[in-house]
Structure 1
């Protein structure tokens, strides 16, 4: 189904950020591309803002290609206004303000989006704030609550507490009654974690997080651990986990390989899990969207959970946005605003 069939007043092309390759150099640059088409079950969104995430950096580096059929344009989350819908879409209409998880295409003026992956812009939030929500909230909910089953009263350890994932995980875990421990790389970042609701923040550069977690839990360890580091953290997570603890690995900042002793996995009856969202079917991501709408969106609209935005930049400065994430000094999300 082509766009002109549904919205003939719109242009046939649009501005977008493309991945350019010059020898060994891969970088982002503004370009003009064809307007996306929408298929059955999709809506066309005029994008107001797009969140920037580490998987975007991996895609530019050639390490995280989009699934077959997905847009080659980077960007896994967006906010905007629906300007067209496929005939079978009944839950949304033209003019609705939404934010959405996408498999790609966020760094552009328009994107085709599965209707099931859209959520309303929470009351009281700007489009820019809404664009910072989907990728991290979908990821944290799916892993920490759906897969690991974090419960009120349990101890939750999250590495990278000031990342987009970390700031989301701290707030969600605290809102649902868990005791939260976060790691970060500076004392200032540790304080930011505490300000967001972490009960304990550990500077991993000056403290041994295993010893600190054990001390804080009377030697028991954490019930659920969310890890974006991997590498040598795999062994240390085994030591920091309690009996029958659940460990989730969702990224590999220290590399995808680790040499470890699996004995604690058996003796502690641990569960080690991993997942990515991007290639999962629309039905799975739609189910997560429904849970977020029911259980988390009310907390956002009442101010109990807030988006944490470090910096906003115009779409044309996408490369600078990636440089900020690569530098690692940020607390929260970086968001691109689309003209």
Structure 2
């Protein structure tokens, strides 16, 4: 066996037993050379010496082999630790300049392995935490893509029947010009949080924020009844947002300048119809969006709405029917669209009519 080999050498015990036997034979021949001794006594002494030498040879060989085995195991474990270090360096888990200190025994080698396992466990824990934070962040931007109408063929897109809701904060430009920047951001974060919660509560999807505007999409859901479809859920969300606006402003703690107290508020526009749903963008940045006249008309209706008013298109009103309590308005010129559009001020929902 190669003495330089670092692998386990405990199998040498047989060799050392043989060495012990030879030692016993040597003692036997040495004693036998004393011919002046009584033959009977000499034979007894020879046999006793032989047995003692044989037993001592076995014991010495066993001890030596045991110690050698310990040393071999230690060397073998050190080789494993060194291999682990190299592997972790290749994977950039520990720096390349890391130098492994000299290991005294198998216990220190074991502790070092446990140390590296701990490093890897901490790394996995940290990656899991980062993944969770990333998913939470993405979910806020994509608005529960897997749970909604976003389950479409993203590449080709689809045409879906939807109700689009737009919110528009009136006189927002004057507001941010006369209020501290930190107060503007505080208000927007509180306002957008409440609006998003209300939209989700009514099974809508926030598609995007455009400055102070919020664009939400409502689509047909499983379990929707004909008289309680996405149009009515969008209208219910509109009333909740309008009702919540004053409390949002109060909770932000902002003191509005006197002119703004009567001219600052929110208006909402609703329109129902077909829209293109799909993913657009480049390899660097993709965005899931909803496109088409339905979106543009809803946006223009919101811009035309007054403070505290939910303005709905004739298409949306026809779908909801008498469940929506409305006041008919003069037809609107929505700008960029041919002709006049008939709209209604929604004042409530009649829950008795079915």
Question: What range describes the TM-score normalised by the shorter chain of this pair?
Answer: under 0.3
Question: In terms of Rg, which structure is larger?
Answer: 2
TM-score by length of 1: 0.23
Between structures 1 and 2, the one with greater strand share: 1
Structure number with the higher helix fraction is 2
